[in-house]
Chains A and B, each alone.
Chain A
Amino acid sequence: MSLADEAASSALAEVVRDEGRRVLATLIRTTGSVTLAEDAVQEAAIEALRHWPREGVPHNPRAWLTTVARRKAVDVIRRDANRTDKEVSAMDLTGPAPDLPESVVRDDLLRLVFTCCHPSLSVSAQTTLSLNTLCGLSIADCARLLLTTESTMARRLGRTKQKIAVAGIPYRIPSDAELPARLEAVASTAYLLFTAGIAGAEDAVRPELCAEAIRLGRLLVELMPDESSLQGLLALMLLTDARRVTRVDAAGDLVLLADQDRSQWDADLIAEGLRLVEGALRRSRERAGRFELQAAIAACHASAPTYADTDWADIVSLYDALLLVEPTEIVRLNRAVAVGERDGALAGLESLDELTGLDRFHLWHACRGELLVRLGRTEEARSAFEQALACDPPRADGRHLERRIATIPSR
Chain B
Amino acid sequence: MTQYAALIYTPDTDWTQPSEVDTGKAYAEFGENNAASIRGGAGLHQTSTATTVRVKGGKGGDVVTTDGPFAEAREVLAGFYLLEAADLDEAVGIAAQIPGAWYGAVELRPVLET
B12–chain A nearest beta-carbon distance, Å: 12
Q: Are B88 and A169 in contact (CB under 8 A)?
A: yes
Q: Are A166 and B67 in contact (CB under 8 A)?
A: no
Residue-wise, chain B 32-55 has the 8 Å CB interface mask toward A (1 for contact) of: 000000000000010011110000
Question: Per a CB cutoff under 8 Å, which of B67, B89, B91, B108 touches A121?
Answer: B67
Instruction: List chain B residues, Cβ under 8 A from A181.
Output: 62
Q: Are A168 and B65 in contact (CB under 8 A)?
A: no
Residue A235, interface by CB 8 Å: no
Q: Are A167 and B108 in contact (CB under 8 A)?
A: yes
- Chain B residue nearest to A118 in the complex (CB): B88
B109–chain A nearest beta-carbon distance, Å: 8
Distance, CA A162 to CA B89, complexed state (A): 17
- Chain B residue nearest to A178 in the complex (CB): B89
Q: Are B92 and A163 in contact (CB under 8 A)?
A: no
**Chain A: interface secondary structure?**
loop
Beyond contacts A167-B51, A181-B62: 10 other A-B pairs, Cβ-Cβ < 8 A, are A118-B88, A120-B66, A120-B88, A121-B67, A122-B66, A125-B67, A167-B108, A169-B88, A170-B87, A170-B88
Distance, CA A118 to CA B10, complexed state (A): 29
- Given known pairs A169-B87, A170-B87, A170-B88, the reply for A120 and B45 (CB within 8 Å) is no
B55–chain A nearest beta-carbon distance, Å: 13
B→A interface (CB under 8 Å)? 45, 48-51, 62, 65-68, 85-89, 91-92, 108, 110
Distance, CA A118 to CA B67, complexed state (A): 10
Residue-wise, chain A 167-204 has the 8 Å CB interface mask toward B (1 for contact) of: 11110001000100100000000000000000000000
**Which 9 A-B pairs have CB atoms at the shortest separation, nearest pair first?**
A122-B67, A170-B87, A120-B51, A168-B87, A163-B49, A166-B110, A120-B65, A159-B48, A119-B65
Instruction: List chain A residues, Cβ under 8 A from B62.
Output: 181
Q: Are B49 and A162 in contact (CB under 8 A)?
A: yes
Distance, CA A169 to CA B88, complexed state (A): 5
Distance, CA A125 to CA B85, complexed state (A): 24
- Chain A residue nearest to B91 in the complex (CB): A168
**Chain B: interface secondary structure?**
mixed
**Interchain residue pairs with CB less than 8 A apart (30):** A119-B65, A120-B51, A120-B65, A120-B67, A120-B92, A121-B67, A122-B66, A122-B67, A122-B68, A162-B48, A162-B49, A163-B48, A163-B67, A166-B49, A166-B110, A167-B45, A167-B51, A167-B88, A167-B108, A167-B110, A168-B85, A168-B88, A168-B91, A168-B110, A169-B87, A169-B89, A170-B86, A170-B88, A178-B89, A181-B62
- Chain B residue nearest to A159 in the complex (CB): B48
Instruction: List chain B residues, Cβ under 8 A from A174.
Output: 89
A→B interface (CB under 8 Å)? 118-122, 125, 159, 162-163, 166-170, 174, 178, 181
- Chain B residue nearest to A126 in the complex (CB): B67
- Given known pairs A159-B48, A163-B48, A163-B49, the reply for A170 and B89 (CB within 8 Å) is yes
A377–chain B nearest beta-carbon distance, Å: 51
Distance, CA A118 to CA B92, complexed state (A): 12
- Chain B residue nearest to A121 in the complex (CB): B67
Instruction: List chain A residues, Cβ under 8 A from B65.
Output: 119-120
Distance, CA A178 to CA B96, complexed state (A): 14
Interface centre among A122, A163, A170, A178 (most CB of B within 10 A): A163
Instruction: List chain B residues, Cβ under 8 A from A120.
Output: 51, 65-67, 88, 92
Distance, CA A166 to CA B110, complexed state (A): 6
B77–chain A nearest beta-carbon distance, Å: 20
A156–chain B nearest beta-carbon distance, Å: 10
Distance, CA A5 to CA B99, complexed state (A): 67
Instruction: List chain A residues, Cβ under 8 A from B89.
Output: 169-170, 174, 178
A35–chain B nearest beta-carbon distance, Å: 14
Distance, CA A122 to CA B87, complexed state (A): 18
Distance, CA A162 to CA B48, complexed state (A): 9
Distance, CA A163 to CA B88, complexed state (A): 10
- Chain A residue nearest to B51 in the complex (CB): A120
A161–chain B nearest beta-carbon distance, Å: 11
Interface centre among A125, A159, A167, A178 (most CB of B within 10 A): A167
Distance, CA A6 to CA B77, complexed state (A): 63
- Chain A residue nearest to B93 in the complex (CB): A178
A177–chain B nearest beta-carbon distance, Å: 11
